[in-house]
Structure 1
Amino acid sequence: MLRRVRLLCLSDIHGRVDALSAVLAVAERRGYSKILVAGDLCFPGPEPLETWRRLTQMQAILVQGTGDRALATLDISKVVPKSPHERSRLERLSEVRTELGQLILARLGRLPTTHRMNLEDGSELLLVHGSPVDPFEPFCHDMTDEEMAALLGDDPADVIVCGGSHVPFDRMVQGVRIVNVGSVGEAPGGEGAGQGFSHADVTLLETSIAGVEVEQIAVPLGKAA
């Protein structure tokens, strides 16, 4: 019988444990063996600490996203906000830091920017928030193949699982399969930040010696999710 391994691939949870719970409920009904999370774990959502606890309890494989790096390293005292929105984000950053505490902030700061793993068919998967050239510069769904190729670098792996841009897609560029898993916590198409999001994105990646199959699912959320 053909051995299959199902990977649960997530990104951009942004501290929304309610949305995380919704996608996990769907994934658990389908079954999976490992969880891969392409960064932006805790900021700016309402439950950063519980989000971190859930991910670590499940022994998820985590890489660092832009928000994770900001939580761990940004010197707020040196940032001058240019708008009320930026001021609000900095205030929320400070609040999330307080809730997480220094130990977790240090762990966020030590997260790797990439993770590589071998798949059953002999190919290699690269988990990254953004892209191989720059872990914090994402592939976007509306980029041309040429624009995406410029972000592949010299050793991109066969399959790239990434996030950052919040819009899921599955594209082949120069022989590399780029799977952007979208966003759990801030998927576009909802009512906007602070007013709820209509759905959360989850990707199931099934691997076997026959190759890789990708299924991308939009999990409905209530208005208060």
Structure 2
Amino acid sequence: MITIRHRDERGVANMGWLNSNHSFSFGHYFNPGYMGFRALRVINEDRVIPGAGFPTHGHANMEIVSYVLNGALEHKDSIGTGSVIRPGEVQVMSAGRGIRHSEYNASDTEPVHFLQIWILPEANNLAPGYQQADFPAEQKRGTLKLVGSRDGRDGSVTIHQDVDLYAALLDGEESATLPLRPGRHAWVQVARGRVHLNGTMLKAGDGAALTDEEAVTLDRADEAEVLVFDLA
């Protein structure tokens, strides 16, 4: 079964400096039908104006992934990390028993466009942590590249949950398939472009939940960038 979450149905928050679309309930947006999917709790598509951002605030017991599409995102946290995340890079911050951080647009002239993703951890009160890794476009072209996993295999960032996170760049006749083991579920998020998922066309901002499907097949794409979550 595939359930489409159309982009125009998402929650919206426009604060002037931030324009955000919420695939799941978040902040002042509440939809009891979309409280998350399996361990996936938040997918926010955020656009932040130059020089603005999220001032220092705290989190606990959440795996927070940032995936930058355009621009640059500056990160600072209470465990001493300072970094800038650019397109092609994936950041994961394990909040664990508690962490404070800020996320700002690193540019004074260009906006930053990114996906903010929250995943429930498999255990509470873990040690806080931070990882960042670069996955060049050629690694994702025409294939599903593993960028996040429970065990950090194949150079992926470590997410403290039974989840594999893949990224793909697809266009034209390029296609990619991810077999799903029995009992597994998947969420597909189209970050940009258009792509067909198991025969159904999705556009940028659309998401889809897959249950009792044998595979995720992506094809007939138009400059698509796609994230796929393989979930318990």
Q: TM-score range by the shorter chain?
A: 0.3 to 0.5
**TM-score normalised over the length of structure 1:** 0.34
Select the structure that is richer in strand: 2
**TM-score normalised over the length of structure 2:** 0.33
- Which has the bigger relative contact order, CA under 8 A and spacing at least 6? 1
